[in-house]
Structure 1
């Protein structure tokens, strides 16, 4: 994997953590993934998933074969140990209240996309269980519009099935770029796709 602005996933730790997460989360969740054929095998892309709960991130990581970088709330980076661990697994800190205060993180995201990595951005910004929150266009404007990479909406739905929860993760079709469209247009299309894929 190529280095991007000094931010690089620790593949050894990533594989160990993914294997441990697979065993642990299997006790509580049964994953059903659809639409994996819509994910690029190589090259950069941005996943725009529904955000239901904190488990979305590890469950999404289990559903995708490629290592993913993802935007994480800055609170997870307060302590040195937590910062090292989350960063090693692909986390990129972002101050949700003041995104421009974390300009370095935005530059890192753009550089990662230019180097062919996959990035996860939750457009709602925080959890909205079983309902849709408003999408935030800022990161789309600051990242995807700079590089013009594929944007892929993702639906995530939890339902009770016996002792475990069933998790349906559905990857939608790429939202096509048109030179005349604005970031708000892409976000609106993405949010419609997320709603439909989640079944809300």
Structure 2
């Protein structure tokens, strides 16, 4: 195997890196955003929890963590775009709990998705974005592949939390309104269908973001964005 095909192992998280991200997010968020948070009491403070979040912009992770989720717990990991794992960042975003995903070639993220599944099963919180890319001010279609793989068939009900992130620009020199809404905790049971469950969650995420989810649930066939391929190459 050539060195180009050898995937670097995840360095693990760092409490110092997480605290630095929290500090930056609070400062940056206070300067440029007027934040409101609702439903924070729905966020479990311990135990494994899968968070399904709306993805509007690159600020979602630092703002969503520092202004909301970090107020409940710090053991949070999040799927992120693989460009943030580039050498120039010196593993910083990885040490904050970021787990890179190559959206164009999912097979290259095999070890990272296995790692995401591992940290979730160890009792941590894991944040994923079912749309798999930033889609501002409207809903994208939920992609079930990564969700299906990470969840699998749990031995016990898995706690799942839907998170809405709403941005409302308020004009020149005024801070953008940023509203975080956490839904009621729901559970994925071992006998549930992944696509049915995710479809319901996408409607909830849309509602929590003050949007509409325009997609009907289609037939369970090959996903054009490679979800099925992702599962087959990882399994």
CA distance in 2, matches of 1:76, 1:29: 23
**Other-structure match for 1:175:** 186
Q: Is residue 110–residue 146 contact of structure 1 (8 Å, CA) maintained in 2?
A: no
1:84 matched to which residue of 2?
A: 91
Q: d(CA) in 1 for partners of 2:164 and 2:21?
A: 24
Root mean square deviation, CA, Å: 1.7
Moved over 3 A (4+): none
In structure 1, the residue matched to 2:169 is: 160
Residue 209 of structure 2 corresponds to which residue in structure 1?
198
C-alpha contact 2:52 2:128 (8 A) present in aligned 1? yes
Matched, 1:33 2:40: no
* TM-score, normalization by structure 1: 0.90
How big is the shift at 1:7? 4.6
Matches within 5 A, 1:40-79: 40-62=44-66, 63-65=68-70, 66-67=73-74, 68-78=76-86
SS at match of 2:169: strand
**Structure 1 residue 118: deviation in Å?**
0.6
Equivalent residue number for residue 105 of structure 2: 98
Alpha-carbon distance, 1:108 to partner = 0.6
TM-score calculated relative to the size of structure 2 = 0.77
Distance 2:28 2:192 in 1: 43
1:107: Cα distance to partner? 1.2
Q: SS where residue 176 of structure 1 aligns?
A: strand
Please give the per-residue CA displacement for 1:69-95, whole angstroms capped at 9, x wherever unaligned: 1111112223x2425111011111111
Conserved in 2, the CA contact under 8 Å of 1:77 and 1:86? yes
Pair member with larger Rg: 2
CA distance in 2, matches of 1:145, 1:179: 8
- Conserved 8 A contact 2:158-2:189: no
- 1:28-66 deviations in Å (ceiling 9; x for gaps): 001111111111110011111111111111111111122
Indicate yes or no: 2:116 matched with 1:109.
yes
Unaligned runs of 5+ in 2: 1-8, 212-235
- Mapped to 2, the partners of 1:123 and 1:115 lie a distance apart of 22
Alignment size in residue pairs: 195
Q: Counterparts of 2:25 and 2:191 in 1: how far apart (Å)?
A: 43
Q: Is the contact between residue 175 and residue 190 of structure 1 (CA under 8 Å) also seen in structure 2? A: no
